[in-house]
């Protein structure tokens, strides 16, 4: 009899759960730094926020503790730039690609709780000044940290160890690179981003 009642209760609990629409799913998330877990429903949205004018397309959670992007999504600022990638509990967390208003990639790499953390490529291109700079390497808490290479259009190259944004080595100069008046093809290819909405 006890086994029958247990099975009946379990069946009732699962049958009372809301039917999900396409793209919706349930996920258990950790809330805050106290590691409280809660099961939440992730829905798919495509909306423009009235106050900021920003647009978001992707997974979204809305419960008592957390409101914001969750899962794969694209956030576009009203100014045109934005980010596309993985969100967790309202923050960038995972593989992310950031882009400016022209659609050029400014960062491609790992994020942890809204901060660049892990491997990444950061690129700054100024078409009007015909200059560029690029860093390929490790990030820690938003700063260059670990092994990495920084290169700029003037031919300066810094390759080696970085510590919280400071270079711990000697700078070199690439003569061939300094003669170039245009952005190298490898940097141009990195900066091209196709935004599909």
Over its length of 197 residues, how does the chain's per-residue pLDDT go in tens digits? 544 444 334 343 343 345 555 566 666 666 555 566 666 777 787 888 878 888 989 888 887 677 788 889 999 988 888 999 999 888 899 999 998 887 778 899 999 999 999 999 999 887 777 788 899 999 999 999 999 999 888 888 888 899 999 998 776 766 565 555 445 555 555 444 333 33
CB distance 195 to 101 below 8 Å? no
Assess whether 92 and 127 both reside in one domain: no
Assess whether 87 and 155 both reside in one domain: no
CB distance 99 to 106 below 8 Å? yes
Assess whether 111 and 179 both reside in one domain: yes
CB distance 93 to 87 below 8 Å? yes
* Domain with 187 in it: 102-197
Three-state SS for the chain is CHHHHHHHHHHHHHHHCCCCCCCCEEEEEEECCCCEEEEEEEEEEEEECCCCCCEEEEEEEECCCCEEEEEEEEEECCCCCEEEEEEECCEEEEEEEEECCCCCEEEEEEEECCEEEEEEEEEEEECCCCEEEEEEEEEECCEEEEEEEEEECCCEEEEEEEECCEECCCCEECHHHHHCCCCCHHHHHHHCCCCCC
Assess whether 109 and 197 both reside in one domain: yes
Assess whether 124 and 163 both reside in one domain: yes
Q: Is residue 28 included in any domain, yes or no?
A: yes
Of 57, 86, 101, the last residue of a domain is 101
Q: Is residue 13 included in any domain, yes or no?
A: no
Of 101, 118, 135, the last residue of a domain is 101
Assess whether 31 and 91 both reside in one domain: yes
Of 101, 120, 143, the last residue of a domain is 101
- pTM of the predicted model, to two decimals? 0.70
Q: For the chain, how many structural domains are there in total?
A: 2
Q: Is residue 7 included in any domain, yes or no?
A: no
C-alpha span between 197 and 195 (Å, rounded): 6
Half-sphere exposure of 142 (CA within 13 A, CB side): 4
């Amino acid at each position: 009899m006890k086994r029958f009642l247990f099975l009946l209760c379990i069946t009732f609990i699962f049958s009372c759960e809301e039917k999900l629409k396409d793209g919706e799913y349930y996920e258990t998330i950790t809330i805050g730094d106290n590691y409280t877990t809660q099961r939440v429903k992730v829905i798919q949205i495509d909306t423009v926020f009235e106050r900021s004018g920003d647009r978001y397309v992707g997974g979204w959670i809305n419960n008592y503790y957390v409101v914001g992007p969750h899962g794969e999504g694209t956030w576009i600022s009203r100014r045109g730039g934005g980010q596309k990638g993985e969100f967790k509990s309202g923050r960038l967390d995972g593989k992310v690609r950031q882009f400016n208003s022209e659609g050029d990639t400014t960062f491609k790499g790992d994020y942890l709780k809204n901060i660049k953390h892990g491997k990444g490529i950061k690129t700054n291109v100024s078409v009007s000044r015909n200059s560029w700079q690029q860093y390929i390497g490790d990030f820690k808490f938003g700063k260059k940290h670990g092994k990495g290479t920084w290169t700029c259009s003037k031919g300066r190259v810094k390759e080696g160890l970085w510590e919280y944004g400071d270079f711990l080595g000697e700078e070199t100069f690439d003569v061939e690179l300094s003669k170039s008046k245009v952005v190298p093809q490898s940097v141009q290819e990195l900066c091209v981003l196709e935004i599909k909405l």
